[in-house]
Amino acid sequence: MLEVKKLKKGSYILHKGEPYIVKEVQNVVTGTHTHSKIKLIIHGLFSGINESFTLPPHDHVDDIHIIRKHGQVISKTEDKIQVMDLFSYDTLDADYHKDLVGDLEEGDEITYVDFGGTAFIVEKR
């Protein structure tokens, strides 16, 4: 558990059972005699959903550690991309966003994350 006031841009949190990356952290003052709040703007790694919500600075959120890995595209189908990990040479099926797929071709090097047994392509290198 991590306090909301300690979150920074680029941190990863667990929200609704899915990993989210913190895109923006803003201090918000709602009135002259009230306590400040912190507004979080987050982006879902797997779903691609953007959300924002406001929390008191002393509330806690679930933090997670996401390891970014380096891989290479082996093959591409309509719904999955087969990726070879360039460190261990293991092959796995990875999900991706539809807007990124047009750019990916066989042989491209990518960055992916593995969370809960699900691999997801984050970016093309």
Domains of the chain: which residue ranges? 2-63, 68-124
Mapped onto helix, strand or coil, the DSSP state of residue 1 is: coil
pTM, to two decimals: 0.75
As a whole-number percent, the residues of the chain with pLDDT over 70 amount to 96
CATH placement of domain 68-124: 2.40.50.140
Which residue type occupies 90? D
DSSP calls for 51-90? EEEEE-TT-EEEE--PPEEEEEEEEE-SS-EEEEETTT--
| Consecutive H or E run containing 22 | strand 18-29
Level-2 CATH architecture, domain 2-63: Roll (2.30)
Domains 2-63 and 68-124 belong to one CATH topology: no
User: CA-CA distance, 94 to 70, in Å (whole number)?
Assistant: 13
Average pLDDT on 4-17 reads: 89
- The predicted pLDDT at position 99 comes to 66
